[in-house]
Structures are given as C-alpha cells and as structure tokens.
A = this chain, B = another copy of it.
C-alpha cells in the first residue's frame, strides 16, 4: 500500500491509459489554441505536465506523429502538423497485402470506395474547373501517352491525372484519401507483378475521361471512370487467381 505515493491514480487498462494520454496531448494543443506550425512544449515539459515518464510519453507522441497530428523534428522540437495521411496508407497497404493472400477482398473493396468517390464527385469538380486546370489534365494525359508509346510504365503520371481531376474541389481530405488509395494501389500493382497490362489501352481510357471532362459531359465522364475501375478490378482478380 503506497502511503505517500501520490500517483496510483485510478489504474485502468494499459491500453486505455495510453489512449487517454494521447487525448490529453490533443486537448493540451486545443486548450492552448496552438495552430498548425506552432511548437509544442519540450518532451521534458510534457512529462511533468502530464505526469508520465519520458518513454511512455514518447510512445504516445510517436502515435500522434503517425496519425499526422504532430510533426517531430529531430533536434529542434515538436510542432502541430499540417495534414498527413502517410500512416493510414501504411496500415491500409498492410491490410491489402494481407488480403491478397486470400481473395483480395479488401483490395477490391478499396477500389469500390475509390470508384464511388471519383465517379460521384467528378460532376461537382467539373462545375468548378478552370481552363488552366483542364490544360494541366491534358498535359498528364499526353505524358501518359508518350510513356506508353515508349513502353514505360507511368504510375506517376496516372496518379497525377487523378489528383488534377479533383483539384478544383479544393478538398484536402478528399485528395488525401485518394492519395492513400493510390499509394495502396501502387503497392498492389508492383506486388502482383502486373507487367502484362496494356499501357496504350490504359492511356486511351484516360484520354477518354479527359475528352468527356473537356466537353462538359458529366455522365460520360463518370461512365469512363467506371470503365477504368472495371479494368483495375479485373487485374486484381487475375492476380489473386494466379
């Protein structure tokens, strides 16, 4: 029985305590009205303020960093971070790879979600698109076609194309989510070999999407996107079957 021990403070499960600690740190940020870019107290100050050891604190800190809540700069300090979904991507990539060992279920679900997002929002994006942004999209298509003609893979240009497509919406969360899906897809892509794809055909599909967007034909744009996703789904199914 700790007589003078001040801190046997309501022992919950370890897991709950860690989560509480993370919440405390986030509350502290909100309470002090820190903005993205502002510095947090040093590790030692936080240890004292929150009444935990440095290691325990650091474990929570690392989690918050992975969640994109804070940014840790070695040797300088910790700061409230701008958006960052890297960690989510890693988690999803892991799940997707795990599922590819079986039936690729999670990978296919991911394509479904991405399709709903892209097909569902392409219309709104087309309402807001500027001539300049449209030109940027075509540029991506051209780059894909060039790479396809040269027989080189063009994952970057492909990713670029889809980013630009939804840039007009000015929705960072959406772009982040799509970015995550892209990262997962890219991983699956290299994982499954996928060398046998028809580059020219893929480039042509994107050209079709561009044409529909440029013409302002929302229904056709959504439809062309859907065809694109059907191709992706087929490739995943093939990879799992093999």
Contacts and interface: CB of A to CB of B under 8 A. Distances in A.
Nearest to A191: B30
Of the listed residues A55, A63, A68, A106, the one surrounded by the most CB atoms of chain B closer than 10 A to its CB is: A63
Interface residues of A, number: 52
30 contacts: A18-B62, A19-B90, A29-B98, A30-B98, A30-B101, A33-B101, A36-B98, A59-B59, A60-B62, A62-B63, A63-B63, A63-B66, A67-B87, A67-B88, A67-B90, A68-B95, A69-B91, A80-B98, A83-B95, A88-B88, A106-B173, A109-B172, A109-B173, A112-B169, A112-B171, A113-B171, A113-B174, A116-B116, A116-B121, A120-B120
Given A15-B74, A19-B86, A109-B171, 17 more contacts: A13-B74, A14-B74, A15-B72, A30-B101, A59-B59, A62-B62, A63-B63, A63-B87, A83-B95, A109-B173, A109-B174, A110-B173, A112-B121, A113-B117, A113-B173, A113-B174, A117-B120
